[in-house]
Amino acid sequence: MKSSEVKKRVKKHFEKLQPLYGNVLEDFELEKIHDFRLRIKKLNSFLWLLNGDKPAGDLKIKQPLRHFYHTVGNVRNLQLHNQRIETLCKQLQLSPPLYYLQSLQQKEREEKASAREEALHLDVKKHSNKLTKAAPKKLKRARIKNFIINNFTALLTLLKQPVLRNEDLHEVRKILKRFLYVWPWIKDGLKTEFQPPLLNKRTCDNLSAIIGDFMDNIVAVSFFEPPYSLLETNAEEITVLQSLHAHIVADKQRQYNDVVAALKNLLPSTETGRTSVSSPSTTVLL
């Protein structure tokens, strides 16, 4: 990739990001937040590729934009959880926990206010100009090779852990997604470095999807912990929350076992026995 193409690619990411950023601030609609965050992830993966063997190099998304990304992510998590609780209550024929839902809505308003405040200190166009200017002259094969080897080594290191924690699975998914977002630039390198190829696009897609479903349940469980579990409520609502929590935890355990079984296929046969299917426990105060 030539110098002009590298810089154009970085600039193009920001050209797509700018209107998505504005869309989020309009009304914080669920899908608008998703589209904005997806563009950030694609940009971040491309910057990792440009950095090669320096994932914490100069080419990185700066803190103001990262903070905004995480804050609107919190908004989206709250929106999704609110929807899920309403759906589960219908499915399980439970009365909606009104105090709990009100607390979620209040927290959502607070996160939106924080995002608007952060936006006052955020200049996306200025950040775009700086990163475009700092982009390397060209994307060298050595950087692509380093990107592949470093990320794949990190992936195998995680998979060889005696017990895969929630945090490990989160990192595994980030690596798989990182590969997917820059697939056109690394697919030939993957074939060259690994014979036979250990990863293909379909595998990355499938694994990242099932881990993503598991991580959604991790987030859901966190909403049954303080401060949400400390809210003023009544005995009937506590019973409802306990039933909802038990349902989500059971689903999470099933997903954990499925994820671990699927990930074993990425390890050499001599290593597959090292990964435990015992899910880390989660403390819940209700």
Is a pLDDT exceeding 70 seen at residue 55? Answer: no
Q: Is 105 among the domain residues?
A: yes
> What are the contacts of 166-169 at 24+ separation with CB within 8 A?
166/215, 166/218, 166/280, 169/211, 169/214, 169/215, 169/259
Last residue of a domain, one of 138, 170, 185: 138
Q: Which two tokens stand for residue 267?
A: 């390890």
Classified as helix, coil or strand, 163 is: strand
Q: Is 184 among the domain residues?
A: yes
113-154 confidence digits (pLDDT tens): 999 999 999 999 999 999 999 998 889 889 999 999 999 999
Q: Is 281 among the domain residues?
A: no
User: Domain check: are 251 and 179 in the same one?
Assistant: yes
93-111 confidence digits (pLDDT tens): 999 999 999 989 999 999 9
User: Domain check: are 236 and 248 in the same one?
Assistant: yes
User: Domain check: are 88 and 103 in the same one?
Assistant: yes
Q: Is 280 among the domain residues?
A: no
216: which residues sit within 8 A by CB, 6+ positions away? 80
Q: Is 283 among the domain residues?
A: no
Confidence label for 234 from pLDDT (cuts 50, 70 and 90): confident
User: Domain check: are 119 and 148 in the same one?
Assistant: no
Confidence label for 1 from pLDDT (cuts 50, 70 and 90): low
pTM for the model stands at: 0.89
The rounded distance, in Å, linking the Cα atoms of 259 and 268 is 17
Q: How far is CA 1 from CA 43, 115, 146, 210, 244, in A?
A: 16, 36, 16, 33, 51
Domain count, the chain: 2
User: Domain check: are 84 and 156 in the same one?
Assistant: no
Mean pLDDT for 196-201 is 77
Q: Is 256 among the domain residues?
A: yes
Q: Is 285 among the domain residues?
A: no
Q: Which two tokens stand for residue 46?
A: 């491309």
245-279 confidence digits (pLDDT tens): 999 999 999 999 999 999 987 776 535 444 443 34
The rounded distance, in Å, linking the Cα atoms of 156 and 75 is 33
User: Domain check: are 130 and 145 in the same one?
Assistant: no
Full residue range of the structural domain in which residue 51 is found: 1-138
Q: Which two tokens stand for residue 78?
A: 């709250």
User: Domain check: are 2 and 127 in the same one?
Assistant: yes
User: Domain check: are 162 and 77 in the same one?
Assistant: no
Mean pLDDT for 203-230 is 92
Mean pLDDT for 57-67 is 88
Across 141-150, 161-170, 184-193, the highest mean pLDDT is recorded for: 161-170
User: Domain check: are 97 and 224 in the same one?
Assistant: no
User: Domain check: are 122 and 147 in the same one?
Assistant: no
User: Domain check: are 114 and 149 in the same one?
Assistant: no
The rounded distance, in Å, linking the Cα atoms of 31 and 21 is 12
Last residue of a domain, one of 138, 155, 179: 138
93: left (phi over 0), alpha (psi -120 to 50) or beta: left
Last residue of a domain, one of 123, 138, 153: 138
User: Domain check: are 176 and 48 in the same one?
Assistant: no
Q: Is 85 among the domain residues?
A: yes
